[in-house]
Structure 1
Amino acid sequence: MISNPDRQADTRTPRPARPRDPSPVVRGLTGRDRWILRMVHEHRVLTTDQLAALAFSTAKIARRRLAILHTYRLLDRFRPLRIRGSAPYHWTLAPAGASILAAEAGTSVRELGYNHQAALSVAHSLHLTHTLGVAEWFTALVTHPHGGQVSRWWSQTRCQRLWGDLARPDAHGRYTHGEDLLDFFLEYDLGTTALSRVAAKLHGFAELARTTGVITPVLLWVPTTAREANARAALRRTWDRLPDPEAVPVATAAAEFLASVTAASPADQVWLPLDTDSGRRRLHELTTVWPTCTPPSSEVDPEPTWAPLSGIVALAPPPPQPPTSEYQ
């Protein structure tokens, strides 16, 4: 999907499964199962293919385990309609799964911010393809890190809770390759948004950098090289007018470059910094292009200092992959 995203078709209402007593399976939940529940809560929706790539040795094992979690109402699922072929199951958090997460956090399902109908509404969301595209981007980076490692993958919702009054990135990530460590904001573009709106988001990132004193690169991922060329022109016009352009490092990449690449990954040599003509770089090489970027002070995430948003308890973000002992 990162090189050739699907067109979004109409979706149909998920058929609810017959309620089952979740007690037997709850007692047998593995660390990987709990990780899956946290991941679909964090990112709203993930497909069978994405979860299989991230957490299972084979797609068959993934389908079998996800079906068990669905049978006991820990997960809900739906399939968007496609003009050709059939879509994989798309997974969301079900009420019993939300109850487990709330119990682990020592809070209530309501304080967790979970609502069953809201969780299912993603099936009809106009942003479903975009949400899945961001998930596919990170899935490719996690499963094909090209010598690196992804230690952070925060959802758009989490970013909004942290920085939404200033900037609203599509995701936030951390990529480590040897001694190189890159924190970044991801802007995932499907080619349907006016480039003036895409470029205008730089003002928010500039204000975020000014307010926090932290310089974090912005990575823009677009579908084609033609879109990238036009996006770079729009970005440059806005970037040049920022009060402190150096506080908002920007790089762009086109998914088209990876269309014929085996094990395609955003870590590949596809990134072109906005402020230099030094050529395309691998993801970890961007750290050498922007020496003024603020290095992370620690690996500790800032959740303990969060103020609850409208009474919602923010769970700690799940790691990009489940515990290694849970692989089967």
Structure 2
Amino acid sequence: MLHEHRVLTTQQIVELAFPSTRAANHRLLELYRWRVIDRFQPFVTSGTAPMHYVLDVAGAIALAYEDGLVPKEIGYRHEDSIGIAHSLRLAHTVGVNGFFTALVNLSRQPDARGCLTAWWSELRCGRLFGDMVRPDAYGRWREDAQQIEFFLEFDFGTEQLNRLGRKLHDYEKLAAATGITTPVLLWLPTARREGTARRALAEALNLLGQQALVPLATSTADFPIVASANSPASARWLPLTVDRNQPTSRKRLIDLARVWDLDTPQEDAEASPPDRRQTKSDLAPPTPLPPLPSR
């Protein structure tokens, strides 16, 4: 997961694979000492930032040789791996990853109804169809015998809204080229930012030749819901459409498929997203959920 998604915090790693923070810290310390993973703690003006983990040399060697490759062939360089500590995109990358680790954590609960079945990074999406559009991530969520796949656009409130509007045209172009309609989910920091963004995006959507090819919904990090239900799968998504007859209430993630009348058959799920041009040196995307404990 570190190779695919570049950097994960302690809490995100707990959500991905461990029963407790204590168990995670014990294992992470061992992996750090063995140079399987590296770590850093970003500077913050108040409080203490969580520990951030990236792939280290021994971990890259293990991943590469499992596939009959060498670390250079999978594009690993330690200076690039640890260099994200000083990247201006660090907070954005951590934010995107937190969106998906929350879904993984929800999937791992004993009474879970849903399951995250795919999670592709920005880099992988860029390699596959970056000539048309570069989403922040791709995901696929299954719940109650239904599935929805989606592209994520993660906004920190710093991106220009007209740029987000222009990307709708790129998503329309991708859908037209592949024949596959994939919803776009826009995650925003505040309700105020969401209102401004929706007005700008509605104008951009109205300019598209085939609006139905770009199903769009928005949500915010500060959406007021019960803490126990505070996940991206909850009823927090507000569809955006120029059709006034469409529902305007907040929907659960899986219910968006019904709003847009989308159907992603489970038996065909491995064929999406479109145009899977995987090269010899491109490791397969990791399964979001951890393997079951061995007995």
Who is 2:214 aligned against? 248
Distance 1:103-1:57 versus aligned 2 partners, 3 A rule: same
RMSD value, Cα: 2.0
Partner of 1:87: 49
Say if 2:15 and 2:104, in contact at 8 Å, map to a contact too.
no
Give the one of 252, 256, 268 matched to 1:286.
Answer: 256
Cα deviation, 1:268-304, whole Å, max 9, x if unaligned, reads: 1111110134311111110111115665652435799
TM-superposed CA distance for 1:87, in Å, is 1.6
Alignment of 1:21-40 (within 5 A): 39-40=1-2
How big is the shift at 1:109? 1.0
Tell me how far apart the structure 1 counterparts of residues 99 and 156 of structure 2 sit (CA, whole Å): 12
- 1:26-61 CA-to-partner distances (Å, cap 9, x unmatched) read xxxxxxxxxxxxx00000000111101221111011
> For 1:176-215, what aligned pairs fall within 5 Å after superposition?
176-215=142-181
State how far apart, in whole Å, the 2-side matches of 1:141 and 1:280 are: 18
Would you say 1:321 and 2:253 are equivalent positions?
no
- Residue matched to 2:24: 62
TM-score (norm 2): 0.91
> What letter corresponds to residue 284 of structure 1 in structure 2?
I
Tell me the distance in 1 between the aligned counterparts of 2:225 and 2:145.
30
Give how far 1:186 is off: 0.5
Match of 2:136 in 1: 170
Q: In the TM superposition, what whole-angstrom CA distance separates every residue of 1:76-114 from its partner, at most 9, and x where no partner exists?
A: 100001222222211111111111111001111111111
Measured in 1, the distance between the counterparts of 2:263 and 2:208 equals 17
TM-score w.r.t. the length of structure 1 is 0.83
**Shift of residue 258, structure 1, vs aligned partner:** 4.2
Task: Supply the AA of the counterpart residue of 1:306.
Answer: R
Percent identical among aligned pairs is 45
Of residues 256, 262, 272, the one that matches 2:228 is 262
- CA drift of 1:143 comes to 1.3
Judged with a 3 Å threshold, the aligned counterparts in structure 2 of structure 1 residues 52 and 118 are, in CA distance, closer, same or farther, namely same
Q: Distance in 1 between matches of 2:13 and 2:34?
A: 18
- Deviation at residue 179 of structure 1 after TM alignment: 2.0
Gaps of 5+ in 1: 1-38
Contact 1:214/1:293 (<8 A) preserved: no
Count of paired positions: 286
Query: Relative to 1, partners in 2 of residues 1:142 and 1:258: Cα closer, same or farther, differing over 3 Å?
Result: farther
Question: CA separation in 2, counterparts of 1:280 and 1:72?
Answer: 47
Alignment partner of 2:66 out of 98, 104, 128:
104
Contact 1:160 1:168 in 2 (8 A): yes
Summarize deviations over 1:95-145 as a string: whole Å, max 9, x none.
111111110011111111111111111000101001000111111122125
Q: Name the counterpart of 2:114.
A: 148
Query: 2:198: which partner in 1?
Result: 232
Residue 277 (structure 2) aligns with:
306
Q: Deviation at 1:305?
A: 5.7
List runs of 5+ in structure 2 lacking aligned partners.
none
Task: Using CA pairs under 8 Å that are at least 6 residues apart, name the structure with larger relative contact order, 1 or 2.
Answer: 1
Q: State how far apart, in whole Å, the 2-side matches of 1:227 and 1:178 are.
A: 32
2:125 to 135, 159, 162: 159
CA distance in 1, matches of 2:287, 2:230: 22
Offset of residue 246 of structure 1: 0.4
In the TM superposition, what whole-angstrom CA distance separates every residue of 1:215-249 from its partner, at most 9, and x where no partner exists? 00000011111111111111111111112110110
Separation (CA, whole Å) in 2 of partners of 1:242 and 1:135: 30
Query: Are the counterparts in 1 of residues 147 and 263 from structure 2 also a CA contact under 8 Å?
Result: no
CA distance in 2, matches of 1:66, 1:208: 40
Shift in alpha-carbon separation, 1:305–1:180, aligned structure 2, 3 A: closer
Contact 1:144 1:264 in 2 (8 A): no
Return the alpha-carbon distance in structure 2 between the equivalents of residues 122 and 103 of structure 1: 24
